[in-house]
Amino acid sequence: MNFYEVVFIVKQDASSSHVESIASDALGTIKDVEGDVTKTEFCGLRVLAYPIKKNKRGHFVLMNVVCPPECIKELERKFRINEDVIRFLIVRVEKLDNNPSALMKRNFRDGHAPSEQE
């Protein structure tokens, strides 16, 4: 089993519940091959650095995953098929960091807690 960080961006038009359903679909794919998700962060709706497929904003989701390499191939396939996922990145890491991600830390530093509405 390997450690991975999975980040994906969903279109700005998607509702929060739709973003959660995409994340739960990914979770189901991981659980089917005896994998595990140790952390899931819904970072909310963020402004993109540049437009992607005519979207200026996107819902960011980060997942820490422990699974075999075959699972990653299936996740990539599902992300490519899903029209609402505009970008994804899967990186193999040596160990998983269960602390809040940089996006979440930035929210706390600015003086307010992260929320689903952003």
Residue 116: its pLDDT value, please? 44
DSSP code, position 81: H
Q: Which residue has the higher pLDDT, 50 or 103?
A: 50
What's the burial of 64, exposed, middle or buried (CB within 10 Å: 0-12/13-18/19+)? buried
pLDDT tens track for 28-59:
999 998 899 999 999 889 999 999 999 999 99
Residue 103: its pLDDT value, please? 72
Kind and range of the H or E run holding 21: helix 16-32
| All structural domains of the chain with their residue ranges | 2-109
What fold does the segment set 2-109 form as a domain? Alpha-Beta Plaits (3.30.70)
Residue 76: its pLDDT value, please? 95
30 and 36 Cβ atoms separated by less than 8 Å: yes
Q: Which residue has the higher pLDDT, 114 or 90?
A: 90
d(CA 14, CA 19): 7
d(CA 90, CA 4): 7
Percent of the chain with pLDDT over 70: 88
The per-residue pLDDT of the chain, averaged, comes to 87
pLDDT tens track for 59-85:
999 999 999 999 999 999 999 999 999
